[in-house]
Amino acid sequence: MEVTSFLQMGVLFLLILSVLLLLKSWITSRAMGNIPGNMGWPIIGESFSFVSEFSSPSGVYSFISRRQQRYGKVFKSSILGRFTIFMTGRDASKILLTGKDGVVTLNLSAAGQQVLGSTSLLQTVGEPHKRLRRLIAEPLSIDALKNYFPFMNTLAVETLGQWPERRINVLEEVSTFTFKVISCMIMSLEPAGEEQEKFRSNFKLISSSFSSLPFKIPGTAFYSGMKARDRMYSMLDSIISRRRKGSEFQLDFLQSLLNKHSKKAGEDEEKLTDEQLKDNILTLLIAGHDTTTAALTWLIKFLEENPTVLERLREEHQGIQDTRKSGSTLTWSEVNNMPYTNKVISETLRKATILPWSSRKAAEDFIIDGFQIRKGWSIILDVVSIHHDPNIFPDPEKFDPSRFDAPLKPFSFLGFGGGPRMCPGINLAKLEISIFVHHLVCKYKWRSLEKDDAVQPTLVRMPKNKYPITVEQL
Ligand code: HEM
């Protein structure tokens, strides 16, 4: 009897919840009435076509551009359970990325919010966000990065040394390289060994749970991700405790935060708690690893497809090499003086647009392009269209680093975002890529083994076939 009434209560609760959700959808949908677009099927919306176009060579761009042609630069849709306004253009990017007058906040998925933790930089706004940014800016500054330069340089030489004479899936190899770099920088993990392996396998599970449905049920990606997160946090706990006891000291990101910012009982509010420390270390890993991996992989692919650019890049690097004494390796001042390489990196980020959109939530009502946006609505800034706007980037499909010879108008190139949430890892990413590219183009040539432009259906755009190549010494 008791079980029956419990079940009845459950069904009633679900029924009420569904009615409330449908009512909320109906109200929001009506409020969006003045904005052009199609909401698709009830609840499902246009999710199927969004997901299926996600992995096509032009990715979500084909979903967006078709609707832009039909409805204009601002349109509405319903995807993955959210009513969403899509926008593009420099004006929209300026308003949405600078968060003018606090009109927008970041809009993480429900799974993303739980994975990163409530104190993550990506979940803080206003003053606490500014303060966290200041704290992490120091260990990611050019001066601090200088300490890791020898490690990155040696690792790049060693990694590339193993490439000739076998099939290389560039995405996988580069992913190992960038993970070793970031785990050394953050907490001085040795590049090989049991700890590195454990840390990496936990990270992979966490990373793939990021865009899953947030059901913590055994067998789901989200469940495995959250379990891996617990394991990673207990690893961090034991490192933090060793460092606090003084039984271990390293010159790394964690130590820098522990020395200056870690909060002990009774200390002032300005400092970080252990929870904030761990959430933000995970945030840097998640935000910095796949992005740098994808950028370096696309860059190597675009170079092979554009021999004239490769030749010019090689001239820059061989020029640097020729001025050096024989037997010596790349130096810190050399890596900071690679103007053409910088343009190649920017052009890679423009053409590939690794993060195809920025997602925000309206923190208050506001008007943009004449459309009324209401508090709580999800807004997607379509960056691919901005990066492929022929008025700013003529012949946008062409890979042409000379586009960056002259300065561009603000908010027309968003490879590292813009405004107060602009990427804090920009120097680290450029450093890793420049070092790797230097050794690659000076010593090796490579050939693709498959022609395939499909893109992985993940948040960070990467080649679906992992870009397989063969490599020879020059
Ligand atoms: C080529 C590699 C990278 C690219 C293309 C990239 C791109 C971006 C972009 C576009 C944003 C802004 C997102 C938005 O406004 O919605 C961003 C933010 C961020 N990036 Fe990067 N990133 C890269 C590497 C890194 C690295 C190496 C790190 C750290 C180790 C990092 C950490 C972050 C963090 C923490 C944020 C959030 C900042 C905030 O909300 O205040 N990124 N990145």
Query: How many Å lie between the centroid of ligand 1 and the Cα of residue 153?
Result: 22
Query: How many Å lie between the centroid of ligand 1 and the Cα of residue 264?
Result: 30
278 Cβ contact partners less than 8 Å away, ≥ 6 residues apart: 117, 233, 236, 237
CATH topology of domain 19-110+354-387: 3.30.43
Q: Which residue's entry shows tokens 């980020």?
A: 349
Per-residue pLDDT of the chain (474 residues; tens, 9 = 90+): 466 676 777 777 777 766 666 666 666 666 676 888 887 777 777 877 777 776 666 667 778 888 888 888 888 888 877 788 998 888 889 889 987 667 788 888 888 999 999 999 999 988 889 888 988 888 899 998 999 999 999 999 999 999 999 999 999 999 999 999 999 998 888 888 888 899 999 999 999 888 777 888 888 989 999 999 999 999 999 998 888 887 777 788 888 888 776 666 555 556 788 899 999 999 999 999 999 999 999 999 999 999 999 999 999 999 999 988 777 899 999 999 999 999 999 999 999 999 998 999 888 888 888 888 888 888 999 999 899 999 999 999 999 999 999 999 999 999 999 999 999 999 999 999 999 999 999 999 999 999 888 888 788 999 999 999 999 999
Query: How many Å lie between the centroid of ligand 1 and the Cα of residue 123?
Result: 14
CA pair distance 60, 64, nearest whole angstrom: 6
Q: 448: which DSSP letter?
A: E
Ligand 1 neighbours (beta carbon < 6 A): 97, 121-122, 133, 283-284, 287-288, 291-292, 295, 349, 354-355, 358, 415-417, 421, 423-425, 428-429
What does the angle CA 426 – CA 100 – CA 421 come to, to the nearest 5 degrees?
A: 20
Q: Is 276 helix (H, G, I), strand (E, B) or coil?
A: helix
Which of 135, 152, 291, 299 has the most ligand 1 atoms within 8 A of CB, as the residue to mutate?
291
Give the global pTM.
Answer: 0.90
Nearest residue (by CA) to ligand 1, atom 17, is 423
CA pair distance 81, 413, nearest whole angstrom: 30
Beta bridge partners of 368: 371
